[in-house]
Every structure is written in C-alpha cells, then in structure tokens.
Amino acid sequence: MRGLTYFILAYVAIGVQSGMAHALAVGSALPNFALLAVIFITLNAPRDVALSGAFFIGLFQDLCTGTPLGLYAFSYGLVAMFVISTQQIVYREHFITHFSVALIGGLIVGLLVLAQSALRDRATVPAMPLFYGAIYTAVLSPLVIGILNRIRRVFQFQPRRSRDGRSGGWNS
Amino acid sequence: MRLPITQAFLILMGLAFCSAFVLPSRYTNPLRAPVQGLFIPVSAPAARLANWAHAHWANDAETDPRKNDSIVAENVRLRNQVSWLIEQNRRLAVLAGEKKSLGDLNKLCQRFSVGGSDTGNRETLQLIDGILANVREGQPVLYFGGLAGRIDASGQVRLLTDPGFNVSGKFVRFVQQGDRQELFPFTDLHPSVFGMGQGRMRITMNSLAEVKNAQLAVGDWVVLSDDTWPAEVQGKRIGKVESIAPRKDSPLFAEIKLAPETALIHLSEVFVLVGKN
C-alpha cells in the first residue's frame, strides 16, 4: 500500500471527524469516520500493513480527543485483528459486509471506551450514545466505504500473499 | 530489510493499553500538546462548513434561542454581565479596604477561533494557534454566554459538559424589573455541577427536600462560585435549569439537569483568560 495515500486518507478522516462529527450528530449518535477508514484499510490491505495502518489511525485520533492517549489506537488495533480474521470469509466489496463489520467494529470501540471510562472515571461516559454511534457509523459505511472502493486503485493494495510467500508491505 | 511488523504491532498495542488503562492521564496528556492543531488545515474548514449547514438546517430552537435575533443575543450578553458584576461586587465588599479595581475582563482575554471538536465521544475543542499563543493548563475559557470550560494538559478546551467535569456554583434567578431583568441569589445551596455529555450538566448531590425548600424552578441559573477558579470569572454563567426530577437510583435526591446558553460543542470562537488583575 502506498504510504502517502494512506497518510492522506488518515489525515482527511481525522480532520473531517474533528470538524464535522458533532455537527452531523443525530441525537446523541456521532459518526466515526476514522473507524470507516480503518475498516476500508483492513478489508483491503495485507495483514501486517492493515494492523499497523489501523493502529496509527487510532493514534492520530487519540491526539484530538479527551480520552487517555492510546485508547483509540488500542481499539482500532483490536478492530483490525477482528476484520483480518474475517477477510477470508467475507465479500469485501458488498455493502452488507461494510455494514456488519462497521457495526461490530463500532461496538468493540464503544465497549472499550465504556470500559476505560468505568475503570478510570467511574462510568462517566453514557453508554447509549456509543451504541447509537455504532449504528449510525454502520449506516454510513456503505456510502463512505463505497466511495473509497471507487478510488481503491490509488492505494495500490498488494495481494495478501505474493508468490514468494511474503505478504505485501508499505510502498513509498 | 523488513521490520517484523507483527511483533512491533503487539508491542505498540501493549503500550497503548498501558497508556489508556493503567497510566494516569497527567503523564500522557502533555505528549499531545505539541501536535495540537495538526489536523486543523482540514478540520477548520470542515467545521466551518458543518456549522454553516448546522445553522441553516438543524432545528436548534430550544438550545439556541438567539437564532436570527440580535436583540435576544444582546440580552444574553447583558444578563451575563449583570451576573458577573453582582458577584464581583459581592467579592469586593468582602475585601473591604482593598480598593483594587477588577478591571475589564475583555482586556484579560485572548480570542481564539475553534479549529475542531473532539474526535471521540468526549466534549473538547481544539483552538487554532492555541499552542503558538502559549495557552496554559487550567486557564478558564469563556464564550458570549458565560463560562465554556478550561484548558486541559494537552492544550484542548475541556468543556463544562464533558463527562466528569466538575465545578461548584450557586443558584440565581433573573427577575423582570420594569424593562430589564435583574439577578437575585435566592438560596444558599452551593451545588456541585458535573458534566454529563451530550451538551448537558447535572447536579445530583442535593436532596429533594432541599430543592423544594429553596423553591428552585426550571429557568433558574447556576453561576460559578468556586474558589479553585480565578476571581475574574466568578459569577459567570454555567447553565440554566432544564429539569428537576427525583434521581432514579436514589429517589430522595434530586437530579437537576442544566443546559448552557448554547451548545458548547458548536462554538466557533472562545475567549481564554490569559491575564490577571
């Protein structure tokens, strides 16, 4: 995968998340564009690249939030591990795949945010907005990931395993 | 040479877990400060576009009564000024003998545009040029309608409505006197106000009997009365009482929900109190 294209995607996803998410809220549900970028990367990129790519999108998101540093990086790392485990059994261009993976990914992130809040802040973050946010993000996923799939070529995703038995890596 | 990415990933995950779940935030928050504003080239225009769309299409009549109404906006500023002046006068009276002017609050504040809001489910704002202007942890942040929050260790504005944010205040009531509204403190209750997310705050530590005796009502205001905050911002408005009901987990206690003058997360500019009298 091209590193520069990945960086632009991560940068735009976090910028849009920071600038627009609260304005696009439906009730208490916030969309999570960074999570959609993570799902797009992990559905398409080779395993190693997908893991590190998801982790660093989370780390970028951690820079602009009030939660402790590392929470989203850790959450997206887990989401990436989950998505990679399903890569062989899902049709990665189908909208139902995008919806279901985004929903489960949103729930994983929500559970970790809630767990962190309960352990460190004595359950100050309300649970239902996280659940609604996961649904909202899942509803948006066919549109956002569909658009990203249209421009997938610029990411130069490599096959998951090449003939010499090594999985693809980062390109400059 | 290829890096063993899987091993590196596992190490990074371990570090992230420790940072998120084990290490106190005071050790990790300062790491974020130098990169505040990194995403502002995208987030600021996105926020402007989103706020423009929000102002035109969102139905915020209840939370933002100033919409298209400059007279109401002026009224809000005046009420805020009145509550601040009354509290400052009271404090000056307490400090009898010390004839020290409190000065003009505007001169002590620096205006900042908001470059973006929280990327997670918390309620924080990123300031454009906040780091370059050297804002410091703990400085109060104001907006036209009162107090907005405080600068945190990472250089972001932690809003009053962020879950867990805690501040002390007191109840006041605006009463119509002829053609103007005057502010009256009407009870000795000093509530602790906690942010609860979703643009709201709550007070949960007062019993229902206390609340009834104080004749607290929807529409009353809570203003800042907290010695851990600078004297210059005492009396600034925190939130308006939106509802009073028994607590679900403890029916003898009241749950009082407060809403700020406007949705703090949608603010486009704020004022940081950088100076002192």
- Residues A33 and A18: their CA atoms lie apart, in Å, by 10
- Taking a contact as any Cβ pair under 8 Å apart, which residues of chain A between 90 and 119 contact chain B? 113, 115-117, 119
Is A59:B32 a contact under the CB 8 Å cutoff? no
From the list B222, B162, B164, the residue with the least C-alpha distance to B198 is B162
- Taking a contact as any Cβ pair under 8 Å apart, which residues of chain B between 150 and 209 contact chain A? 152, 156, 158, 162-164, 194-198
Closest Cα in chain B to A125: B163
Report percent pLDDT > 70 for chain A.
90
Q: Is B43 on the interface with A (CB under 8 A)?
A: yes
Q: How far, in whole angstroms, is CA A7 from its chain's centroid?
A: 14
pLDDT higher at A67 or A106: A106
Amino acid A46 reads P
Rg (CA), chain B: 21
With H, G, I as helix, E, B as strand and everything else as coil, classify residue B224: strand
Q: Which residues from chain B sit within 8 angstroms of residue A16, using beta carbons?
A: 42-43, 46
How does residue A163 score in pLDDT terms, banded at 50, 70 and 90?
A: very low
Checking if the pLDDT of A26 tops 90, the result is no
Identity of the residue in A16, A65, A113 whose CB atom sits nearest the CB atom of B46: A16
Report percent pLDDT > 90 for chain A.
48
CB B12 to CB A73 under 8 A? yes
**Disruptive mutation site among B121, B192, B194, B268 for chain A (greatest number of A CBs within 10 Å):** B121
CB pairs under 8 A between A and B: 189
Is A144:A33 a contact under the CB 8 Å cutoff? yes
Q: Which residues from chain B sit within 8 angstroms of residue A171, using beta carbons?
A: none
Checking if the pLDDT of B183 tops 70, the result is yes
Q: What is the pLDDT at residue A144? A: 93
CB B5 to CB A52 under 8 A? yes
pLDDT higher at B186 or A159: B186
- Residues B50 and A23: their CA atoms lie apart, in Å, by 6
- Calculate mean pLDDT across residues A59-81: 90
DSSP A58-113: HHHHHTTSSSPTTHHHHHHHHHHHHHHHHTTTS-TTSHHHHHHHHHHHHHHHHHHH
- Calculate mean pLDDT across residues A22-46: 90
- Residues B257 and B255: their CA atoms lie apart, in Å, by 6
Q: How far A148 CA sits from the closest chain B CA (Å)?
A: 18
Report percent pLDDT > 90 for chain B.
21
Query: Using CA of residue B151, residue B154, residue B159, residue B160, what is the dihedral sign?
Result: negative
CB B162 to CB A126 under 8 A? no
Does residue B235 come out as left (phi exceeding 0), alpha (psi in the -120 to 50 range) or beta?
Answer: left
Checking if the pLDDT of B204 tops 70, the result is yes
* Distances from the Cα of A9 to the Cα of A54, A109, B210, angstroms: 12, 20, 55
**E strand or H helix that includes residue B8:** helix B5-17
Identity of the residue in B54, B152, B197 whose CB atom sits nearest the CB atom of A129: B197
Checking if the pLDDT of B85 tops 90, the result is no
Is A134:B206 a contact under the CB 8 Å cutoff? no
Token pair belonging to B269: 């500019």
CB B16 to CB A74 under 8 A? yes
Q: Which residues from chain A sit within 8 angstroms of residue B8, using beta carbons?
A: 52
Identity of the residue in B58, B118, B265 whose CB atom sits nearest the CB atom of A65: B118
Token pair belonging to A122: 């004595």
- Sheet strands (E) in chain B: 109-117, 124-127, 140-143, 146-151, 157-159, 166-177, 180-185, 192-197, 200-203, 221-224, 237-246, 254-259, 269-273
Residues, chain B, total?
277
Checking if the pLDDT of A99 tops 80, the result is yes
- Calculate mean pLDDT across residues A96-119: 92
- Calculate mean pLDDT across residues B201-227: 88
How does residue B109 score in pLDDT terms, banded at 50, 70 and 90?
A: confident
Checking if the pLDDT of B100 tops 80, the result is no
Question: Rounded mean pLDDT of chain B?
Answer: 82
Q: What is the pLDDT at residue A166? A: 54
Checking if the pLDDT of B239 tops 90, the result is yes
Query: How many other C-beta atoms lie within 10 A of the C-beta of residue B206?
Result: 21
Is B71:A99 a contact under the CB 8 Å cutoff? no
Helix/strand/coil (H, E, C) string of B12-47?
HHHHHHHHHHHCCHHHHHHHHHHHCCCCHHHHHHHH
Checking if the pLDDT of B63 tops 60, the result is no
Q: What is the pLDDT at residue B179? A: 65
Is B273:B108 a contact under the CB 8 Å cutoff? yes
Q: Which residues from chain B sit within 8 angstroms of residue A24, using beta carbons?
A: 50
CB B18 to CB A126 under 8 A? no
How does residue A125 score in pLDDT terms, banded at 50, 70 and 90?
A: confident
How does residue B102 score in pLDDT terms, banded at 50, 70 and 90?
A: very low
CB-count burial class (<10 Å; 0-12, 13-18, 19+) for B20 = buried
From the list A74, A131, A143, the residue with the least C-alpha distance to A103 is A131
Amino acid A78 reads L
Closest Cα in chain B to A110: B121
- Calculate mean pLDDT across residues A46-57: 90
A79-95 core/surface letters (b: 16 or more CB in 10 A; e: else): bbbebbeebeeeebeee
Is B37:B115 a contact under the CB 8 Å cutoff? yes
CB A63 to CB B164 under 8 A? no
Identity of the residue in B17, B41, B196 whose CB atom sits nearest the CB atom of A70: B17
Checking if the pLDDT of B47 tops 80, the result is yes
Residues sharing a CB contact under 8 Å with residue B97, sequence separation 6 or more, in sequence order: none
Q: What is the pLDDT at residue B193? A: 93
Q: What is the pLDDT at residue A25? A: 87
